[in-house]
Amino acid sequence: MRCFPAPAGNLKVQTVASGLVYPWSLAFLPDGRMLVAERPGRLRIIAADGRLLAAARERAEGFAVSQAGLMDILLARDFAQSRTIFVCYAEAAEGGGRIAVLRARLIEDESPRLDDATVIFRQKGPVSRGLNIGCRMVQALDDNLFVTLGDHFGPKELAQKLDNHIGKIVRITHDGAAPADNPFIGNRGALPEIWAYGLRNAQRSRLQSGRRKAMGAGAPDPWVATRSTSSRKLKTTAGRV
């Protein structure tokens, strides 16, 4: 066990499991086990005592290059009843990779697996060569999903345009549709899923309690994207928050 000083108190770091291949995200199951995404394309279940259990998904066809691959996993708010999970990953397309969001049901028996797997969202715009993927998700209290999408280390102008999903946060329903109150609905030439734009590579996110505010941090600075619940104004700030 290692200990690191921090303003809120000392942080104790203990290795729970080893032998994973580029673990990128995890979600705690109701019984204390962990569902872990390995970036090359595999979902692993880890027991509370650190034992590696059977894979829920063996390596899937995707785009596991540089920073890209199987990225974020998120349990639906009603997971205990529905067994629904969401997976954000890079899929192979046009010689590179683009972000996709998969919805599936996690079946846990002698052979854990994903059932009823459906791709609900695919990123539009030039493909990535494996850099600045983004790919973090958070589910709001209204069950809609926020998904961060990186700028692919491409031309900075793409993140400022609303006709693509490069350098954006999108807000979608659990079926992948754009909610009717998204801020750019009705704007000519704008993709309806867009919630915020002008981002680089947001790879951490959370929802501020009581407000529809997606916050996070990525290269190079923290960011905040806020939409007031009482107006149609959208505020997006890349910088210190």
Confirm whether 7 is domain-assigned: no
Count CA atoms within 13 Å of residue 229 on its CB side. 7
Domain assignment of residue 78, given as a range: 20-234
Nearest to 146 by CA among 155, 159, 137, 157: 137
Report whether pLDDT(240) > 60: no
In DSSP terms, 3 is beta-bridged to 12
Query: What pairs with residue 65 in β-bridges?
Result: none
Q: What is the pLDDT of residue 234?
A: 40
Q: What is the pTM of this model?
A: 0.81
Specify if 8 maps to a domain. no
Q: Is the pLDDT score of 223 beyond 70?
A: no
Residue 132 lies in a domain: yes
Any domain includes 165? yes
Cα→Cα distances 87→11, 40, 50, 72, 151, Å: 29, 14, 22, 6, 20
Cβ atoms within 10 Å of 53's Cβ, excluding its own: 13
* Residue 5 domain-assigned (yes or no): no
* Counted domains in the chain: 1
Report d(CA 119, CA 104) in Å as an integer.
9
Residue 219 lies in a domain: yes
Please tell me the least confidently modeled range out of 8-17, 131-140, 190-199, 222-231: 222-231
CATH of the domain at 182: 2.120.10.30
pLDDT in tens, 135-177: 899 999 899 999 999 887 777 888 889 999 999 999 999 999 9
Between residues 76 and 210, which one has the greater pLDDT? Answer: 76
Rounded to whole angstroms, the Cα distance separating 40 from 62 reads 8
Q: Is residue 6 part of a domain?
A: no
* Choice between 217 and 190, residue whose per-residue pLDDT is larger: 190
Residue 115 within a domain: yes
